């Protein structure tokens, strides 16, 4: 059974980057008949003395909430007027960004989080983590990263790498659903190192059979390489792909503070939307409180 996209969440800070993510979410929602949740997380700036009394900031916090709520209401009105067939909901919270998103994912059964991305990361973002990277790693649902420069919102050519085995069947189901809604063509890219070659080849052939069974138009190629992220990115450019659909599974770990894992590499070297499929229950079970004590809120989604 093909996976469905019924509910889409978009974190916004009202910048061009997040506005472009909203545009992408609207076009996806039209094709999948999904509802859209627009979310903003606002910082609380106040001081608590030893007795627990709020010393400063209450008026500022209230004023920030009022201004942001007005902006959300205006965005809701504009989107509803332009897209009368779609259902929009706006949510304002003062939780930190990742916890706030995960709370909504649970409450609203979110299928996809769409986040704006600046693409190539600066060295400070590589060390500290950009906001889009925090969203990718922290939220308990599949994530679509939309580069700020992206101007195409349909997925006519869909690149589906077969590089790891985890959740591969779910990824194929999602790819078929997206291809069907876009009348798109799937390019299947088997990509393997020497160590996992036999297992990846078998999985690659099984996916080809699934595509044939579903009468899905596709092209296929198999590459042998140690540098999967770079090769996937290069292939996406050569193939003129509109989106890459990936499993949420890293390869290798950080060797030093300046090194890049698979996720960082694919974000840095690719300038089209990247959809990372996540198993919601597994992500929730693996959730940690790493962000406790830090206020990771919009703006600056990175």
pLDDT of 301 reads: 36
Q: Is residue 290 part of a domain?
A: no
pLDDT of 120 reads: 54
Q: Is residue 283 part of a domain?
A: no
pLDDT of 300 reads: 36
Rounded Cα distance between 52 and 57, Å, is: 14
Q: Of 101, 127, 150, which one is at a domain's C-terminal end?
A: 150
Closest to 72 measured CA to CA, from 88, 95, 83: 88
For the chain, the C-alpha Rg in angstroms (whole number) is 20
Q: Is residue 298 part of a domain?
A: no
- Per-residue pLDDT tens, the chain, 302 aa: give them: 557 899 999 999 999 999 999 999 999 999 999 999 999 998 655 555 566 655 556 667 778 889 999 999 999 999 999 999 999 999 999 888 999 999 999 999 999 999 998 855 554 444 334 688 889 999 999 999 999 999 999 999 999 999 999 999 999 999 999 999 999 999 999 999 888 899 999 999 999 999 999 999 999 999 999 899 999 999 999 999 999 999 998 765 544 444 568 888 888 889 999 999 998 877 777 765 444 333 333 443 33
SS (H, E, C) the chain: CCCCCCEEEEECCCCHHHHHHHHHHHHHHHHHCCEEEEEEECCCCCCECCCCCECCCHHHHHHHHHHHHHHHHHHHHHHHHHCCCCCEEEEEECCCHHHHHHHHHHHHCCCEEEEEECCCCCHHHHHHCCHHHHHHHHCCCEEEEEECCCCCCCCCEEEEEECCCCCHHHHHHHHHHHHHHHCCEEEEEEEECCCCHHHHHHHHHHHHHHHHHCCCCEEEEEEECCCHHHHHHHHHHHCCCCEEEEECCCCCCCCCCCCCCHHHHHHHHCCCCEEEECCHHHHHHCCCCCCCCCCCCCCCCC
* 125 and 17 both lie in a single domain: yes
* 134 and 201 both lie in a single domain: no
* 99 and 198 both lie in a single domain: no
Q: Which two tokens stand for residue 85?
A: 């067939």
* 6 and 134 both lie in a single domain: yes
* 164 and 125 both lie in a single domain: no
Q: Of 102, 130, 150, which one is at a domain's C-terminal end?
A: 150
* 87 and 190 both lie in a single domain: no
Q: Is residue 291 part of a domain?
A: no
Q: Is residue 198 part of a domain?
A: yes
pLDDT of 261 reads: 80
pTM score, whole prediction: 0.86
Q: Is residue 50 part of a domain?
A: yes
* 82 and 140 both lie in a single domain: yes
Q: Of 94, 119, 150, which one is at a domain's C-terminal end?
A: 150
Burial 81-105 (b: 16+ CB within 10 A, else e): eeeeebebebbbbebbbbbbbbebb
* 161 and 129 both lie in a single domain: no
Q: Which two tokens stand for residue 42?
A: 């606002």
Q: Is residue 297 part of a domain?
A: no
Contact 174, 144 (CB under 8 A): no
* 99 and 179 both lie in a single domain: no
Domain holding 159, by residue range, is 152-272
* 236 and 226 both lie in a single domain: yes
* 172 and 219 both lie in a single domain: yes
Q: Is residue 92 part of a domain?
A: yes
Where residue 121 sits, what CATH number does that domain have? 3.40.50.620
Query: What is the total count of domains within the chain?
Result: 2
* 250 and 139 both lie in a single domain: no
């Amino acid at each position: 059974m093909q996976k469905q996209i019924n509910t889409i969440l978009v974190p916004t800070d009202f910048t061009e980057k997040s506005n472009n993510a909203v545009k992408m979410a609207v076009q996806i929602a039209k094709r999948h008949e999904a509802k859209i949740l627009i979310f903003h997380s606002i910082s609380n700036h106040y001081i608590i003395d030893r007795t627990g009394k709020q010393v400063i900031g209450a008026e500022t916090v209230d004023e920030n909430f009022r201004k942001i709520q007005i902006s959300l209401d205006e965005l809701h009105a504009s989107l509803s007027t332009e897209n009368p067939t779609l259902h929009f909901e706006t949510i304002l919270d003062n939780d930190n960004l990742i916890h706030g998103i995960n709370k909504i994912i649970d409450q609203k059964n979110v299928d996809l989080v769409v986040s704006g991305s600046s693409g190539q990361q600066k060295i400070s973002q590589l060390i500290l983590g950009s906001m889009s990277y925090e969203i990718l790693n922290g939220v308990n649902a599949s994530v679509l990263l939309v580069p700020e420069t992206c101007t195409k919102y349909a997925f006519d050519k869909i690149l589906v790498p077969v590089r790891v085995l985890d959740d591969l069947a779910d990824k194929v189901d999602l790819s078929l659903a997206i291809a069907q809604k876009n009348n798109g063509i799937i390019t299947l890219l088997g990509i393997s190192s020497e160590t996992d070659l036999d297992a990846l080849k078998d999985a690659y052939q099984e996916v080809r059979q699934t595509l044939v069974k579903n009468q899905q138009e596709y092209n296929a190629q198999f590459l042998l390489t140690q540098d999967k992220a770079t090769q996937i990115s290069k292939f996406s450019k050569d193939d003129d792909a509109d989106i890459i659909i990936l499993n949420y599974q890293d390869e290798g770990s950080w060797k030093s503070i300046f090194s890049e894992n698979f996720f960082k590499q694919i974000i840095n070297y690719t300038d089209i939307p990247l959809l990372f499929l996540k198993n919601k229950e597994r992500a929730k079970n693996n959730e940690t409180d790493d962000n406790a004590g830090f206020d990771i809120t919009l703006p600056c989604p990175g």
